[in-house]
Amino acid sequence: MYNKYLEVSTLVEEAIASKKAIVALESTIISHGMPYPQNVETALKVEEIIRNNGAIPATIGILSGKLKAGLSREEIEYMGKKGLEVAKVSRRDLPIIISKGMDGATTVASTMIIAAMAGIKIFATGGIGGVHRGAEKSFDVSADLQELAHTSVAVVCAGAKSILDLGLTLEYLETNGVTVIGYGTDELPAFYTRKSGFKLEYRMDSPMEVAKAIKAKSDLEFSGGMVIANPIQPEYQMDYNVITKAIESSVKEAERLGIKGKEITPFLLSRIKDVTGGESLKSNIELVYNNAQLAAQIAKSLVSL
């Protein structure tokens, strides 16, 4: 029995009922991640990659106050065209967006919530949010981290966004009991680059290894998610010095303009794209494709156990 505010597409509902592999996808990348029509093209390509790897994609969003698990092609097109007019929605925003019958693009946190409501256990995204630089003064910590501590959905990502304080982000996850697995790596990937200098406790090298860990956690009835940190492909990673300088200059620009809260991440990503002449966006898209492929393989392994 689904929550009364949730609408699951026929395809996703059938996949859940027949215990097929399913991968949840967020919709912030559609409405806030890049301009139309590139946003729609990217979203549909991600779904295609998941299908080609043996799983069913379930893009998640909110339309007219209804939580949707499994957007249609037309609904993705609608969100892509509407773009920034669609509200960016995290956990705190959900009651308002629902009660007002608004459209909403889901972040990592709200995608996890809706995926869990629908019974979807694997979610692919670009990078998770985390502890922002200067958080000791601003207390700016992404709601994604609290969601990972409480909501039982495994998130495949390219680590945490490198605009963040990666060391403190790892500490926060550890304090809240969130398992972080490096996929084919011993250190936390830094979104645009494969290395960050922050060592991880656990490394796994196959989708089945990861699936077994997810199943063990479920069998133990532990609440909370899991982070599968999947490094960007070597050929698409950015030069460490170039991206570091771009991030530092963008952070300073945000401070000068007084940009804070939920506006800070989209501002920084947009600014970094401009500073790098669009190279960061290309890397961002490719790492999302990479994560979608791995998530589908893990989901397929999970349903076989």
Please tell me the predicted confidence (pLDDT) of residue 1: 55
CB atoms within 10 A of CB 137: 6
Please confirm, yes or no, whether 26 is among the known catalytic residues.
Answer: yes
Six-digit token pair at 140? Answer: 């700016």
215 and 276 housed in the same domain: yes
Q: Which domain holds residue 49?
A: 1-120
User: What's the number of domains the chain is made of?
Assistant: 2
Please confirm, yes or no, whether 187 is among the known catalytic residues.
Answer: no
Q: Specify the residue for token string 């790492």.
A: 287
pLDDT digits over 44-103, tens only? 999 999 999 999 999 999 999 999 999 999 999 999 999 999 999 999 999 999 999 999
Q: What is the pTM of this model?
A: 0.94
Name residue 6's amino acid: L
pLDDT digits over 144-182, tens only? 999 999 999 999 999 997 788 999 999 999 999 999 999
116 and 149 housed in the same domain: no
CB atoms within 10 A of CB 55: 26
Name residue 28's amino acid: T
- Last-in-domain residue among 77, 92, 120: 120
54 and 116 housed in the same domain: yes
- Last-in-domain residue among 58, 86, 120: 120
How many angstroms separate the Cα of 204 from the Cα of each of 5, 89, 182, 210?
Answer: 37, 32, 6, 7
141 and 106 housed in the same domain: no
List Cβ neighbours of 121 (8 Å cut-off, separation of 6 or more): 22, 115, 152, 153, 154, 214, 218, 299, 302
DSSP of 176-215: TT-EEEEES-SB--BTTBS--S-B-SEEE-SHHHHHHHHH
Q: 68, 88, 161, 300: which is the annotated catalytic residue?
A: 161
CB atoms within 10 A of CB 126: 23
CA torsion 27→31→35→37, rounded to 10°?
70
Residues forming beta bridges with residue 131, ordered by sequence position: 141
CB atoms within 10 A of CB 221: 7
Position 133 confidence tier, pLDDT thresholds 50, 70, 90: confident
| Angle at the Cα of 128 from the Cα atoms of 182 and 35, rounded to 5 degrees | 125
How many angstroms separate the Cα of 39 from the Cα of each of 35, 63, 77, 97, 295?
Answer: 6, 18, 9, 22, 20
pLDDT digits over 185-242, tens only? 999 999 999 989 999 999 999 999 999 999 999 999 999 999 999 999 999 999 888 8
114 and 134 housed in the same domain: no
Residues forming beta bridges with residue 24, ordered by sequence position: 58, 123
- Last-in-domain residue among 55, 90, 120: 120
215 and 66 housed in the same domain: no
237 and 151 housed in the same domain: yes
Six-digit token pair at 75? Answer: 């609904």
91 and 15 housed in the same domain: yes
CA-wise closest residue to 125 among 149, 105, 98: 105
